[in-house]
Chain A
Amino acid sequence: MAHADSAARRERAARMHVNLGRRHRNERFIGAALFLCSAVSILTTAGIVAVLLYESSSFFRRVSVVEFLTGRQWTPMFTDQAFGVLPLLTGSVLIAIGAALVALPIGLAAAIYLSEYAQDPVRKVLKPLLEILAGIPTVVYGFFALTFVTPIIRSIWPGAEVYNALSASIVVGIMIIPMVSSLSEDAMSAVPRSLREGAYALGATKYEVATRTVVPAALSGIVASFILAVSRAIGETMIVTIAAGGQANLTLNPLRSVQTMTAYIAQTATGELAHGTVEYQTIFAVGLALFAITLGMNIISIFVLKRFREVYE
């Protein structure tokens, strides 16, 4: 019995030794497979850049870059074609400014409230409620803008158009509130208690601690959240497509209808989009401009976060 036992053990041990080789081969294979997964995200970025450059290159053979960037008319569908991106760009900027005016003060104040004032039970209710806003589909926001906010605006300013920039930018602003409040609150929560207590010891009130100690100490995170939120507002598509209209007007009047870069892409792509047509090429040219702007803003926000971060342990 004991003999059989030890024989079995020897056999197992021998098999184990053989297995080790196989396990190491497995290991290399798995390492390679996992790396390939990571390569997909690199390929995605490369793919986006390549597709945008390649597809818009035929557009830029027809229209000069200068004409594209400085032209004040955008009428690719008319017989009298003009390819100046400025109306779309101002449309996007107008929406983003409006959204920022709504979201930055409200988001920052909400972050201060959640981080500095709210008692724990209150915070645990308010914070998830606020974050629900970030999860609402953008088409539903678009519906809300068109059927709820627009009528209110038109009752205040009867001259406002049915599709107007103000309604869309207010609702885009509401959508990005949780982005500002969550990221800013994270930054404020990371400010160590000792800083607050130092300020209290010098006789500061809670308001002074919040605005003159905590906010400056968390400023890099707050600014980064602002930039990310505005970049999200520029990239937002469905709300502006539904509520801001489809006319590429070069205007800064928020009561008029504007077309943003994203809305142009969406509205053009809704129809049959044949490859090689001007419409097909223009959406990639506009997409390239959009991608460049949002990428630039994201890089700036990462830079701000790294460069100006106050490091506490």
Chain B
Amino acid sequence: MTNGRSPSAAPILQGVPPLQPAPEGDGRHQAVQRDASRFDSRLGPRARMGTVFHLVCLLATLVGIVALGALLYDVIATGSGRLTWAFLNGFPSRFAARAGMKPALIGSLWTLGLTAVIAFPLGVGTAIWLEEYAPASRLRTIVEANIANLAGVPSIVYGMLGLAVFVRYFAMGRSILAGALTLALLILPVIIIASQEAIKAVPNSIRLGAYALGSTRWEAVRHHVLPLALPGILTGTILALSRAIGEAAPLIVVGALAFVPFVPGSPMDPFTVVPIQVFNWVSRPQAEFRELAAAASIVLLVLLLSMNAVAIVLRNRFSRRNQQ
């Protein structure tokens, strides 16, 4: 390994005997000297390694994005031909040519609306309690740890909770209401955590100002903290709801039906949703039904995209206001 670079190290080692074959155990100086004389920064290979690593990391990032592109291409190329008004406005059928997704679409909107109405107040209420009311106690720690754990419970387990409690114990049957309650519990942790973040971001001086003017705690929260935190809370809620609209597993267990030849008219009606309709169609072997599944997936993705767009607009307004 000794090579032409060693002379450059020599001036540093002045006063040290020159490199000679030394007897065993001749002390530290010589070891240092030998190491220094052999020192090679190997800048070339290290730089090359860096470039390779940079490229590998970039490629890894692109793998995810290429997969996303392939997925969108697959869905759009397969399904766009089936995407007609008759499909959006039609009823399911044994014949692919006549099948439509209107009951699933209306069912999804019903479920989404009810889920929002149930989960929003509960989630925001919990966040307010945790951030503004709860004393720094064991109870609060337990509630927070519990929420973190709930966020990691598989969605299908929520479906089993819904099946045993809402469908059977409260005898709601396989209704929209039972499905919406199940989804509300599923997305509750997401809404709570997002709302907590939004409430935490409100500066404390605002609360103190309200108290100085004689507000009670609730008045400070209601008139000052909540309005400032609202865009953040709404963003989190919309993102949570966009998770709910794509969920199929818990609703399958709760008992949403695959074949619903009517438009649900009340929360107690049986129902289906778009993801379950997609699942039903993709499970059939015929290619025509796969095309229907892709077309319904496009509708689902468009719904999701528009919800995310609303969330992004809200978030941008939020961050601009905070900068002022």
Contact = CB atoms under 8 A, between A and B. Distances in A.
B315 to A, nearest CB: 11
A105 B247 CA distance: 28
B146 A41 contact: yes
Of the four ranges (under 10, 10 to 19, 20 to 34, 35 or more), the interface on chain B belongs to: 35 or more
A108 B54 CA distance: 13
Interface string B57-81: 1111101110110110011001000
A34 B60 contact: no
Contact of A140 (B46, B147, B297): B297
B282 to A, nearest CB: 5
B146 A45 contact: yes
A183 interface: no
A163 to B, nearest CB: 11
Contacts of B63: 106, 110, 177
What are the 10 tightest A-B residue pairs by CB atom distance, in nearest-first order? A235-B154, A137-B246, A37-B125, A109-B60, A113-B57, A207-B50, A237-B249, A34-B129, A298-B152, A110-B61
Nearest to A297: B152
A277 B34 CA distance: 80
Contacts of B50: 205-208
B153 A113 contact: no
Contact of B71 (A33, A112, A144, A178): A144
Interface stretch (A80-88, A153-161, A282-290): A282-290
A146 B281 CA distance: 12
A135 interface: yes
A40 B146 contact: no
Interface of A: 23-24, 26-27, 30-31, 33-38, 40-42, 44-45, 47-48, 51-52, 54-55, 105-110, 112-114, 116-118, 126, 129-130, 132-133, 135-144, 146-148, 174, 177-178, 181, 203, 205-208, 210-211, 228, 231-232, 234-238, 241-242, 262, 265-266, 269-270, 273, 275, 283-284, 287, 290-291, 294-295, 297-299, 302
A77 to B, nearest CB: 17
B265 interface: no
A291 B290 contact: no
Interface string B36-63: 0000010000110110011011111101
B61 A113 contact: yes
A139 B275 contact: yes
B65 A109 contact: no
A236 B246 CA distance: 13
Chain B CB within 10 A, most for which of A47, A181, A237, A242:
A237
B250 to A, nearest CB: 9
B252 A137 contact: no
A234 B64 contact: no
Contacts of B217: 27, 31
B97 interface: no
A242 to B, nearest CB: 6
Interface in B95-142: 121-123, 125-126, 128-130, 133-134, 142
Contact of B275 (A37, A106, A137, A295): A137
B64 A295 contact: no
Contacts of A48: 153, 157-158, 160-161
B156 A45 contact: no
B282 A137 contact: no
A117 B294 CA distance: 37
A28 to B, nearest CB: 10
A34 B160 contact: no
B159 interface: yes
B165 interface: yes
Q: Which of B64, B121, B125, B246 has the most CB of A within 10 A?
A: B64
A33 B60 contact: no
Interface stretch (B7-15, B185-193, B225-233): B185-193
B178 interface: no
A174 B121 contact: no
B297 A143 contact: yes
B126 A105 contact: no
A269 B252 contact: yes
Contact of B57 (A34, A109, A238, A266): A109
B304 A137 contact: yes
Nearest to A267: B252
Given A41-B189, A117-B57, A130 B64 contact: yes
A42 B143 contact: yes
B165, B258, B282 — most chain A CB neighbours (10 Å) = B282
Interface in B143-171: 143, 145-150, 152-161, 163-165, 168
Given A38-B143, A40-B126, 14 more contacts: A41-B126, A41-B150, A48-B157, A52-B160, A113-B57, A136-B68, A138-B249, A140-B246, A144-B71, A210-B53, A241-B279, A283-B160, A291-B154, A295-B153
Contacts of A140: 71, 75, 246, 278, 297, 300-301
B219 interface: yes
